Structure 1
Amino acid sequence: MCDLAASSALNALAPPPFIAVIPARLASSRLPGKALLEIDGQPMVVHVAQRARAAGAQQVIIATDAQAIMEVAHQYGFLAVLTRPTHLSGTDRLAEVVEQFGWSDDTIVVNAQGDEPLLEPKLIQSVAAHLAHQKACAIATAAHPITAAAEIFDPNVVKTVLDKNGHALYFSRAPIPWARDTYQPDWSNLPAMSAPPCTVYRHIGLYAYRAAFLRRFPDLAAAPLEKAEALEQLRALWHGERIAVLITHHTPVAGVDVPADLARVRQHFAAIAQGKHQEKT
């Protein structure tokens, strides 16, 4: 039996000052132009910006490589900056924004992905607060417990394991921790497992950074583990950075990667609109 450390509840920490930066590329191999695709009458990236604003961010900035996204951001009253088109990741784009604005090293910068139109403002705020209270950490992120075998053994679901202080030890697409006595006797029955024998955490791709780390990030060499797992956060662990993990027991709604995700999110907004209409009538 294993017992992994859990961190503070969402409501336990006071919200600190923080800045939200939304990296948004126009190009997307699986869903071209997705940042500007309409959901409930507004571009997707605008929904994300509105949620970051609702989270209490002192400033919300859309960081993009496309003039079209700049224009849409301004149309809806959001600040946007044009960044280099050569960035390999959203973190690299955030690093450029930090340099453009010259923020102090202690500034907390939340990376709210431009394809997460249902990102909860409370979670954004709580991850920022978690970093503010974890002085030894350069990064904070979030995770939630999962029990479905289909998710635990799905390589598209990123898992994490923590130390006793709630800091990430590792992130993997593999099922971690590996419960030897349960999983090993008969691998063919793993998908039929009713419940894991110990807590398994699914990583939520929301990050808060200290600006000092974002300044360092472009100079950090890509790590072998990062390349093997295709998980950028392993670069930080490889280079000795600490990542604080906030545990929430509320499962976030997934973002938009493919056309089926877009249809799901549009249906979600339509259902909300229908519910509001019924309340009025």
Structure 2
Amino acid sequence: MTLVKVVIPARFNSSRLPGKPLLEINGKPILWHVYQRCIEAGFSREDVVLATDDSRIFAKAEELNLSVVMTSSAHESGTDRINEVASLKRWHSDDLVINVQGDEPLIPVKLIKDLVKFALERPCFSMFTAVTHLHSLDSFHNSNVVKAIVGEQNQALYFTRAAAPLSRDNITCLELAYRHIGIYGYTVSALKKFCSYKEAPLEVYEKLEQLRALSHGMSIGVCHYLGELPHGVDTPEDYELIKEIMESKT
């Protein structure tokens, strides 16, 4: 039986907003709100783990009675941090690990549930992620919006910051345009394999970690998410906006 775990990577040293996992909304830090979204998605506290390399985040998580693991400070990415957690916890190679970003206090519960359901139904893939339709030409041409090119069997063909795929006959057509959503799932064995690879040239070129997997022949299944997609907390302005939204609901 495949078990499903959630790991929330939370680091202190964000370049644009240092310490953001500890910033408070409604009297609780952002990391607590992300953890709650995972609980609301149906996971037990034993199956949701915060992963950090910072003693302040670790102490706050323990204070709030959240499952937390202290990981190495040498990791270059959240994926490496998650792989260490899976190793320390001795999770089975076939277990499914969901990577939920630690700066998304409004991540939709439905998105987490949809990705888990999609992954469990498609063991043919090594990794899993999500996309949503793009409806704005501004977003389509914005290099900060990552586009996913998806094949016939829900497999990822490529991810890019460029405007793609581009219709030759109608350059304003967005019928096949998808925005990548930064949530991932992996089997423990695929996670270990991914982290054993060095950075791929395309990954370095586009600054997209998922291109490492595709460059080495790993398959990525793509879940199509239908629903609103709130922004994460990347900047002080994001924090103030999301704080206002969440506090207005209480």
| TM-score, length-scaled by structure 2 | 0.95
Residue-by-residue CA offset, 1:137-156 (whole Å, 9 max, x unaligned): 11111111011111000000
Give me the whole-angstrom Cα distance separating, in 2, the residues matched to 1:73 and 1:197: 43
Give me the whole-angstrom Cα distance separating, in 2, the residues matched to 1:146 and 1:109: 27
Taking only the aligned residue pairs, the percentage that are identical comes to 40
Q: Is the 8 A contact 1:95 1:214 kept in 2?
A: yes
Counterparts of 1:161-172 in structure 2, within 5 Å, are: 161-172=149-160
Are 1:199 and 2:176 an aligned pair? yes
Aligned counterpart in structure 2 of residue 122 of structure 1, from 102, 106, 110: 110
Q: Is the 8 A contact 1:158 1:202 kept in 2?
A: yes
Give me the whole-angstrom Cα distance separating, in 2, the residues matched to 1:54 and 1:245: 23
Residue of structure 2 equivalent to 1:7: none
**Quick one: which amino acid aligns to residue 27 of structure 1?**
N
Residue-by-residue CA offset, 1:97-131 (whole Å, 9 max, x unaligned): 11101111111111011001101122112212211
Give me the whole-angstrom Cα distance separating, in 1, the residues matched to 2:33 and 2:228: 19
Aligned counterpart in structure 1 of residue 69 of structure 2, from 63, 78, 81: 81
Q: Is the 8 A contact 1:115 1:255 kept in 2?
A: yes
Unaligned runs of 5+ in 1: 1-15, 184-192, 274-281
CA-atom RMSD, angstroms? Answer: 1.2
Aligned counterpart in structure 2 of residue 221 of structure 1, from 187, 193, 198: 198
Are 1:210 and 2:210 an aligned pair? no
Q: Is the 8 A contact 2:135 2:174 kept in 1?
A: no
| TM-score, length-scaled by structure 1 | 0.85
Give me the whole-angstrom Cα distance separating, in 2, the residues matched to 1:75 and 1:236: 37
Residue-by-residue CA offset, 1:162-187 (whole Å, 9 max, x unaligned): 1110110000011110112233xxxx
Are 1:71 and 2:59 an aligned pair? yes
Residue of structure 2 equivalent to 1:254: 231
Moved over 4 A (4+): none
Shift of 1:197: 4.8
Residue of structure 1 equivalent to 2:8: 22
Q: Is the 8 A contact 1:171 1:234 kept in 2?
A: yes
Give me the whole-angstrom Cα distance separating, in 2, the residues matched to 1:38 and 1:239: 40
How many residue pairs get aligned? The number is: 247
Residue of structure 2 equivalent to 1:33: 19
| Change in CA separation of 1:173 and 1:33 when aligned onto 2, cut-off 3 Å | same
Aligned counterpart in structure 2 of residue 240 of structure 1, from 212, 217, 223: 217
Give me the whole-angstrom Cα distance separating, in 2, the residues matched to 1:151 and 1:218: 31
Give me the whole-angstrom Cα distance separating, in 2, the residues matched to 1:176 and 1:272: 37
